[in-house]
Structure 1
Amino acid sequence: MTERQTYHLAELNVGRLVAPTDDPRVAEFMENLDRINGLGKRMPGFVWMMEGSGEPGTGNTENSIGDDPQFVANLTVWEDAAALEKFVWGTVHKQFYDKRHDWFDILSDQHFVMWWVPVGHRPTLDEAMKRLEHLREHGPDETAFGWAQLDQAGMWRDKRCTHVAAE
């Protein structure tokens, strides 16, 4: 373990689907959730993922935000930024990331946040939403931050596509 390994990296990604989960407009996304989530879980450095019901094809979409079932959240924990970055931009996940504008509304507010958690801690969706709100209100700091605040992360600069929808 490295010096930083007393902490792991948590991330929350919030998106609003353009249609209900059973709508043909989001079918390709829904049909690939289990495959992409399964890939993430097999990646070196993966630690934990907030789960839905376990029903095939539902992924984490049951973890909706507020009263809008189309607002969904993905909450994961990784050993470090390199592991998360490799999954996001170094696997087939990148192909789905590039197509996110097909399935997700463009959000005007910040919708992605990261923060360090003690090894073994599993953040709740409520905790993660508070981190996101902190980032929205105060900007990046040690409590909540984005890719640009991680000196050790670099793939995101080169591999991300234009900022159009849920990251």
Structure 2
Amino acid sequence: MSGFHLAQFNVATLRHPLEAPESTGFREALDHINALAEASPGFVWRAKGEGFDSALPAEGQDPNYLLNLSVWESAEALAAFVYRTDHRDYVRDRAQWFLPSVGPSFVLWWIPAGELPDGVEGARRLKLLAELGSTSEAFDFRSRFPAPDLAFSADAN
């Protein structure tokens, strides 16, 4: 087991307001998908509350702009949830509910186990991925980086 966990941050802009009839399928699945994530092997944490719950945008945040931030024990655990549970259907049908993204909308990075990221850090990592492509600091599923080596990380401090 690594001394690191995988943080993931993703953003999306709804085609229609959350309460619109066109968003019904997405809106009605939120509680189920969140519960499924939380019950998945390897799940550690997800951000909740203002700015992260679809029905409770942060002050000044476009209510159609949705943020998701979570922490997982490994990329494999996150991928299993994303692509091998009911969540896969929502990934497949995302164009039905969300506008196309101009740049990356999903980013991964390693954090020391026990630490929790915030939305500011998630946005910074997403910007880093957009500007530099995949690096060990910000990557995606297609170009994963392994967790840092604990011995190397301890020497860097």
TM-score (norm. length: structure 1): 0.81
Give yes or no for contact 1:16–1:71 (8 Å, CA) kept in 2.
yes
Q: CA RMSD of the aligned region, Å?
A: 2.0
Pair 1:107–1:139, CA change in 2 (3 A): same
TM-score (norm. length: structure 2): 0.86
Distance in 1, Cα, partners of 2:58 & 2:126: 15
For 1:46, the equivalent position in structure 2 comes to: 43
Pair 1:9–1:103, CA change in 2 (3 A): same
For 2:73, the equivalent position in structure 1 comes to: 79
- Per the TM alignment, residue 48 of structure 1 is displaced from its structure 2 partner at its CA by 0.3
Give yes or no for contact 2:139–2:145 (8 Å, CA) kept in 1.
no
Question: What are structure 2's unaligned runs of at least 5 residues?
Answer: 147-157
- Per the TM alignment, residue 67 of structure 1 is displaced from its structure 2 partner at its CA by 3.5
Distance in 2, Cα, partners of 1:120 & 1:131: 19
> What is the SS of the residue equivalent to 1:76?
strand
The structure with more radius of gyration: 2
Give yes or no for contact 1:64–1:70 (8 Å, CA) kept in 2.
no
- Per the TM alignment, residue 150 of structure 1 is displaced from its structure 2 partner at its CA by 2.0
Q: What are the superposed Cα offsets for residues 62-81 of structure 1, whole Å, 9 maximum, x if unpaired?
A: 34696421111111100001
Give yes or no for contact 2:4–2:113 (8 Å, CA) kept in 1.
yes
Q: What are the superposed Cα offsets for residues 79-118 of structure 1, whole Å, 9 maximum, x if unpaired?
A: 0011001000111111111111110001111111000011
For 2:151, the equivalent position in structure 1 comes to: none
Question: What are structure 1's unaligned runs of at least 5 residues?
Answer: 54-58, 153-167
Is residue 106 of structure 2 the alignment partner of residue 112 of structure 1? yes
Give yes or no for contact 1:65–1:72 (8 Å, CA) kept in 2.
no
Identity across matched positions, percent: 38
For 1:13, the equivalent position in structure 2 comes to: 10
For 1:36, the equivalent position in structure 2 comes to: 33
For 1:133, the equivalent position in structure 2 comes to: 127
Moved over 4 A (4+): 63-66
Q: What are the superposed Cα offsets for residues 26-56 of structure 1, whole Å, 9 maximum, x if unpaired?
A: 1110111000110000001000001136xxx
